[in-house]
Amino acid sequence: MVTSKRVSNAKSDKYNGNIHKRGKVEMKEKSKSFVSKGPFLLGFFVFVVVGSALLQIVRTATSGTPGL
């Protein structure tokens, strides 16, 4: 059975279209309710580090022995 020129061209066009689309991902717009976690985690980390340093300084100043 011989494939018609129209069917052959349609298959070829479909194949070529898929080849050109391969690997492309459509970019979605970020939702306006999106809040990044980076600043919150950084703030928490700084709070913990600075807070523990302050507590260590207060403990050292009141007891007079460093590190215990």
d(CA 20, CA 2): 28
pLDDT of residue 29: 67
d(CA 62, CA 64): 6
Q: Which two tokens stand for residue 44?
A: 């928490």
Distance of CA 18 to the CA centre of its chain: 28
pLDDT of residue 43: 95
Instruction: Note the pLDDT tens digit of each residue in 2-58.
Output: 778 999 999 888 888 777 777 777 777 665 566 678 899 999 999 999 999 999 999
pTM: 0.44
pLDDT of residue 17: 78
pLDDT of residue 51: 97
Question: DSSP string spanning 31-64?
Answer: PTT---SHHHHHHHHHHHHHHHHHHHHHHHHHHS
